[in-house]
Chains A and B, each alone.
Chain A
Amino acid sequence: MHEQHSPLIRLAKRDAMPRGQVWAIRGASFVAAILISALIFLLMGHSPLEGYGTMLSGALGKPTAVRQTVRIAIPLLGTALAIAPCFKMRFWNIGAEGQITAGAVGASYFALFWADRLPVPVLLVVMALAGAIFGGLWALVPAFFKARWGTNETLFTLMMNYIMIGVVKWLQGGPWEGRPGSQIIPQFDSAAVLPKVLGVHCGWIIVLVMTVAVFIYMKYTKQGYEIAVIGESENTARYAGMSVGKIIMRTMFLSGAMAGLVGFIVASGADNTLHSGVAAGVGFTAITVAWLAQLNPFAMIAISMLLGVLEKGADTLQTRLEVPASISDIITGIFLFCMLGCEFFINYRLIFRGGHKEVAGK
C-alpha cells in the first residue's frame, strides 16, 4: 500500500559531495550551455564550430583582444566582490548599478572641478575616496530603513538604481554639461585618468587587491564572521548579542563603497567621463557572477573572465559574421541558467521509487 502512494521521485538534501563529483556536474552544465548555445548558431545558419572559434579568437586571440576582454571583466569582478558580503548576510542588494553610478558621480566631481588644483596622485586618491564614500552613502539609505523598520531591501535598492541614473542624466544635460546642448559631460583632464599598466588601466590591479582583501575580510575577521552568522540565522546573531542593525548598515556601506570604487575605476579608467550608462548593467550581471561563484572571491575571477570572453567574443561575431551583438546576452543568459540549474544536482539527491530503503525510525 505504502509503496503505491510514494511519489516516483523524491528529493533529499545531500551532505557534502565529493569534490570531483561537484566539478563533474559543473563541467556538465558548462557543456550543456555550449550545446544549447550551438543551436542558436545553427538557427542563424552558421556552424557552431565557426561561431565559437570566432568568439574565442575574438576574445583571446591577440594581446589587444585579451586586454579588451580584461577591461570588460574588471568592473564585473569588482562589483561581484562588492555584492558578496551583502549576499552572505542574505541582504539582497540589487542596487549595485546605482552604487556604481553614485561612485562615478563622486569621482567625477573631483575630476571635473579639482583637476587643476590637486597634484596627480592626490587627485586620483581623492577621486577614489569620493567614489567609495558616495557609493557607500547611497547604499546606506536602504540599509538604514531595513535595519530600522525592516523595509524590503530587494525592491528598495532596485529603485535606488533608477533614481541615481536619473540624477546623472540631469547632471549630463544640466549643471555639468560641457558644450551647451550636447547633453555630454566633458572628458576628464588627463590628470584624472587612471594610468595604464600592461596596456590596461590599472583598475585591474585594484580589483585583484580587492579580491584578496574581501577573501580575508570574509574568512578571517570578526566582522566577516558576524556577517556569516546573520546570514545563517538572524535570531542566533541577536541571541549572541550582535547588534544586527548596525552590522547590516556597516556591511552595506562597505558594499556600496566597493561598488562606488568600481564606478571610479570605470569613469576614470575606461570612459574618461561620466554618463548615465556608466554602470551599463554591470550591477545586475555582477550579482549572477557573485552567486555562481558561491561568493568565493577567487572563483569570481574565473566567472567574470568567462562573461568577459562571451561579451567580447559576441562583439567579434557581430563584425565578422554579421550576427546581432545581442547574441552575447542570449548566450550569457543560457550559461547563467545552466549554471544556476546545476547547483540543484549538487545540493539535492533524487530518490526514485523503490530504489532506496528508508532508514527505520527516521
Chain B
Amino acid sequence: MSINQNAVLLLIMAAVLNGVPLLYGTLGEILSEKAGNLNLGVEGMMFMGGAMGLGAAFYYEGAGGTIGVLAVFLALLFAFLGGAIGALIYAFLTITLRANQNVTGLALAIFGTGVGQFIGEYMRVTSGGYVAVSNNLKAVFLNSPFPAGLQQLPVVGPLVFGHSVFLYLGVLLAVGMHLFFRRTRAGLSLRAVGESPATADAAGINVTRYKYLATVIGGGVSAIGGMVYTMTIASCVWNHEALSGEGWLAVALVIFCLWRPLNAIWGSVLFGALMILYQRLHLSFVPDELYKILPYVVTVVVLILTSLRNNREKQPPPSLGLAYFREER
C-alpha cells in the first residue's frame, strides 16, 4: 500500500515540476488574449526567456556572484525582459500597425526561437562548449524554499512544501490575475477591450494602452515559463530540443482553461501529468508516442465541447484576433 502511495506522490511531484513552466506560459497568454490579442509567438517568447534567464544566472555566477536569491531574481527579470521585448514587437505590429495577428505571431515564433537558440549557442561557444551553473545554484532554482522541517512532514510535506519557488510564485500570480480580472476596475476595462474594443473606446477606456500593456506584460510572464523550464527540468543547460513545443502546449492550455487564471493552476499540473504519464503509468496497449499527444487531443475535445455548449461564459474573448481600427466602427 505504501509503495503505491509513494508512486502516486512521485507522479504528482513530477506533474507539478512539468506543469509549472506551462503555468507561466498560459497565464501570460491569458492576459494577452483577454485584451483581444491572440499571440501565437508564445513558443518564441519562451525560447527568448529561457535563453536570457539562463544567461542571467550564468553570467551572474561567472562575475563572482554567490547570492542564490539574487540569481533567481535576475533570471526572472531577464526572462521577463526577453519575452516583453518579443511581445513589444508583436504589439507594435498588430496594435499600432494593425498587421494580422496570426501571421505576426507566427513570425514572432520563428524570430524568437531563432534568438533563443542563437543566444544559447553563443553562450555555449564563448564559454568553451558547455554552459553550466554550479550545483549550489541549480539547487536554489530546483529546491523548495521552505525549511527542511516542513518538507519532511509525511505526505503533506512534499505535496505542499516540496516544490520549487516558481510554483508558489506562479500560483500567487494566478490568484492575483483572477482577482485583477474579477475585482478591479482595470481588470473589467481590460476584459471590455477584449470583448468589444469599440464599446470600450466609447466608454472612455484607452484601448491602445490596455492592449499594449496586456500583451507586453503577458509576453514577459510567458517567457518566464521558458526560463523555469530551462532552470529546473533541463537542469540549467540550454536544450532547445526539450524546450520546443512548450509554447504551443501553453497556447493549448489557454483554451483548456477557458481563459481563466485559476483553472490554469490545476490545468497546467494536469498537462504536466499527461506529458510524463507514459513514464510513470505504463499501459502496454498504449504506445508511449501516442500517450504524448494526449494533451493535444484533450484540448481539441475541450474546444469542440465549448463550441457545442455555446455557453457565453466559456467562449474566447469575442474580438480575439481582430485588429481595432477606431475609424472603422
Docked-complex contact A328 and B316, CB < 8 angstroms = no
Task: State in angstroms the CA–CA spacing of A332 and B252 once bound together.
Answer: 26
A122 at the interface (CB under 8 A from B): no
Docked-complex contact A334 and B111, CB < 8 angstroms = yes
Chain A interface, DSSP helix/strand/loop, else mixed: helix
Docked-complex contact B290 and A166, CB < 8 angstroms = yes
Docked-complex contact B300 and A159, CB < 8 angstroms = yes
A327 at the interface (CB under 8 A from B): yes
Docked-complex contact A333 and B289, CB < 8 angstroms = no
Docked-complex contact A327 and B293, CB < 8 angstroms = no
Task: State in angstroms the CA–CA spacing of A73 and B22 once bound together.
Answer: 34
Docked-complex contact B100 and A333, CB < 8 angstroms = no
Docked-complex contact B287 and A13, CB < 8 angstroms = no
Question: Nearest Cβ distance between residue A143 and chain B, in whole angstroms?
Answer: 13
Docked-complex contact B293 and A162, CB < 8 angstroms = yes
Task: State in angstroms the CA–CA spacing of A159 and B293 once bound together.
Answer: 9
Docked-complex contact A288 and B117, CB < 8 angstroms = no
Task: State in angstroms the CA–CA spacing of A330 and B116 once bound together.
Answer: 9
Chain A residue nearest to B326 (CB atoms) is A11
Docked-complex contact B118 and A166, CB < 8 angstroms = no
Q: A167-B290, A174-B289 are in contact. Are A155 and B303 (CB under 8 A)?
A: yes
B67 at the interface (CB under 8 A from A): no
A30 at the interface (CB under 8 A from B): no
Docked-complex contact A337 and B111, CB < 8 angstroms = yes
A173 at the interface (CB under 8 A from B): yes
B: contact size bracket: 35 or more
**Interface locus among A20-28, A190-198, A223-231, A340-348:** A340-348
Q: A324-B117, A333-B114 are in contact. Are A166 and B289 (CB under 8 A)?
A: yes
A150 at the interface (CB under 8 A from B): yes
Interface residues of B in 263-319 (CB under 8 A from A): 287-290, 292-293, 296-297, 299-300, 303-304, 307-308, 310, 316
A287 at the interface (CB under 8 A from B): yes
B106 at the interface (CB under 8 A from A): yes
Docked-complex contact B307 and A336, CB < 8 angstroms = no
Task: State in angstroms the CA–CA spacing of A220 and B310 once bound together.
Answer: 38
- B-side contacts of A151, CB under 8 Å: 303-304, 307
Docked-complex contact B316 and A163, CB < 8 angstroms = no
Docked-complex contact B111 and A333, CB < 8 angstroms = yes
**Interface locus among B54-62, B91-99, B223-231:** B91-99
Question: Nearest Cβ distance between residue B255 and chain A, in whole angstroms?
Answer: 5
Docked-complex contact B102 and A287, CB < 8 angstroms = yes
A: contact size bracket: 35 or more
Q: A154-B321, A155-B251, A291-B100 are in contact. Are A169 and B111 (CB under 8 A)?
A: no
Chain A residue nearest to B293 (CB atoms) is A166
Q: A151-B304, A291-B103 are in contact. Are A326 and B93 (CB under 8 A)?
A: no
B121 at the interface (CB under 8 A from A): yes
A170 at the interface (CB under 8 A from B): yes
Q: A152-B316, A154-B38, A340-B103 are in contact. Are A327 and B114 (CB under 8 A)?
A: yes
A114 at the interface (CB under 8 A from B): no
A52 at the interface (CB under 8 A from B): no
A285 at the interface (CB under 8 A from B): yes
Docked-complex contact A336 and B107, CB < 8 angstroms = yes
**Residue of A94, A169, A343 touching B289 (CB-CB under 8 A):** A169
Docked-complex contact A340 and B104, CB < 8 angstroms = yes
Task: State in angstroms the CA–CA spacing of A332 and B109 once bound together.
Answer: 11
Q: Which of A10, A170, A344 has the most CB of B within 10 A?
A: A170
Docked-complex contact B289 and A173, CB < 8 angstroms = yes
Q: A154-B38, A166-B296 are in contact. Are A336 and B290 (CB under 8 A)?
A: no
Docked-complex contact B118 and A324, CB < 8 angstroms = yes
A121 at the interface (CB under 8 A from B): no
Interface residues of B in 103-154 (CB under 8 A from A): 103-104, 106-115, 117-118, 121-122, 125
Question: Nearest Cβ distance between residue A91 and chain B, in whole angstroms?
Answer: 11
Q: A287-B103, A337-B107 are in contact. Are A11 and B300 (CB under 8 A)?
A: no
Docked-complex contact B296 and A170, CB < 8 angstroms = no
- B-side contacts of A285, CB under 8 Å: 106, 110
16 A-B pairs with CB atoms under 8 Å apart are: A11-B325, A155-B303, A159-B300, A167-B289, A170-B287, A288-B106, A322-B125, A326-B121, A328-B114, A329-B118, A330-B111, A337-B93, A337-B107, A340-B100, A340-B104, A344-B97
Which B residues are within 8 Å of any A CB, using their own CB? 38, 40, 89, 92-93, 96-100, 102-104, 106-115, 117-118, 121-122, 125, 245, 248, 251-252, 255, 287-290, 292-293, 296-297, 299-300, 303-304, 307-308, 310, 316, 321, 325-328
Sorted nearest first, the 4 A-B pairs with minimum C-beta distance are: A333-B111, A329-B114, A166-B293, A170-B289
What 10 additional pairs, Cβ within 8 angstroms, besides A92-B102, A162-B248? A155-B303, A158-B40, A163-B297, A167-B293, A174-B287, A287-B106, A291-B100, A332-B110, A337-B107, A341-B97
